[in-house]
Amino acid sequence: MDNAVQVAGLVKRYGKLEALKNIHLRIAPGEIFGLVGANGAGKSTLIQILVGALRYDQGQVSVLGFEPLKQARLLRRDLGYMPQSPALYEDLSSRENIRFFGRAHRLPDLEKRLDEVLDFMQLRDRQNEPVHTFSGGMKQRVSLACTLIHRPKLLLLDEATAGVDPKLREAFWAHFHELAAQGVTILFSTHQMDEALHCSRVAVMRQGVVLACDTPRNLLMRGRAQVKIWRGDTVLDERLDDYPRTLPLLLQQHGLDPAVSRIEVIEETLEDVVLNLINAGEDSHV
């Protein structure tokens, strides 16, 4: 198995609406791969196809070497899926929910793993309380615990950290990095651009199309920089593409002019870059 996930020419239609349009993706084992995009971009549809919960119309899909529709049984042993909604039994406690999803995998040391995962998710104190008494963030924690209980090789997390407080979110990411270091592949969908920085690669999606797929650093390099140079009483204000290369050229024009009193470079954030990509995509579709 070269790639944990391999998708080629994937098309998914809901009636006349083409939700995914000719998607190509390759995700290497141990990679943390981010799917970024607004609502309706196709992130959840793509994840549901990868877990074998949704049929697709065209293309080839391979997940951990298996075809998700035809080899679902084999695939699901090593797959952890966290849906966008918590998908929990509200009348049951967190421990009972996690135990129930764990029992599907016939784990011999289920109770030990339950203790571990409850500790990690900081749920031990309220493990016996019904889930309907929990906040949204706590439900997300229970949902993630249900996903991790059988130690899957591939994690597919649909908006996993939505509603989770920043401190716990950092703990989640530390754990995801630990898992990735152990060879677990993680596919993560999010709206939040700061989270994309945790990913080894990011695919920016818009209306069923992958607009860009690259490392967060390379995506940042696509951003423009605003450069302001104060020279005497005048201020030169320039916007530069690929500023690591173009900024020296601009500065060379000024040499070491002692009149240059201040230089300010404001880089675009990843969020700006992604929004620009999405907006450019929209413009091209008008």
Partner 1 sequence: MFDQMLAVAWRVLRQLARDRRFLGLSLFVPLLITYMLYVFFEGVKNPFVKPREFILPMGAFMVHFITYLLCTIVLVRERTAHTLARMFVNGYTRGSVIGGYMLSYSLLATLQTLIVLVALYGLFKLDYDWQTLLAIYGVTWLLAVISIALGILVSNFARNEGQIFPFVPLVTLPSLFFSGLIVPVSSLPQWMGALAYIAPLYYATEAIRGLTGQKGDVSQWAGLLIYGAIVFVLATFTLREQE
**Which spans of this chain sit near partner 1 (rule: CB under 8 A)?**
48, 51-55, 69, 72-73, 76-77, 79, 81, 83, 85, 87-89, 91-92, 96, 100-101, 103-106, 130, 146, 150
**Closest approach of partner 1 to the CB of residue 141, in Å:** 16
Question: What's CA 28's distance to the chain center, in Å?
Answer: 15
Measured between alpha carbons, how far is 16 from 14 in angstroms, rounded to an integer? 6
Find the shortest distance in angstroms from Cβ 138 to partner 1: 17
| Contact status, residue 110 vs residue 104, Cβ threshold 8 Å | no
Q: Using CA atoms in the order 179, 181, 185, 191, what is the torsion angle rounded to 10 degrees?
A: 70
Residue among 104 and 235 whose Cβ is closer to partner 1:
104
When the beta carbons of 34 and 83 are compared against partner 1, the nearer one is 83
Residue with smaller CB distance to partner 1, 17 or 104: 104
Comparing CB distances to partner 1, the nearer of 50 and 138 is 50
- Residue holding tokens 């239609």? 13
The least distance separating partner 1 from the CB of residue 26, rounded to whole angstroms, comes to 22
CB of 81 to partner 1, least distance (A): 5
Q: How far is the CB of 217 from partner 1 (least distance, A)?
A: 33
Which are the contacts of 204, defined by CB distance < 8 A and separation ≥ 6? 36, 37, 210, 211, 212, 213, 219, 274, 277, 278
- Say if strands 154-158 and 79-82 run parallel, antiparallel, or are unpaired: parallel
Choose between 131 and 212: whose C-beta lies nearer to partner 1.
Answer: 131
Collapsing DSSP to helix, strand or coil, 152 comes out as: coil
Angle in degrees, CA 19, 75, 139, rounded to 5: 70
By beta-carbon proximity to partner 1, the closer residue of 66 and 101 is 101
Q: What is the DSSP letter of 247?
A: H
Q: What's the min distance (Å) between Cβ of 101 and partner 1?
A: 5
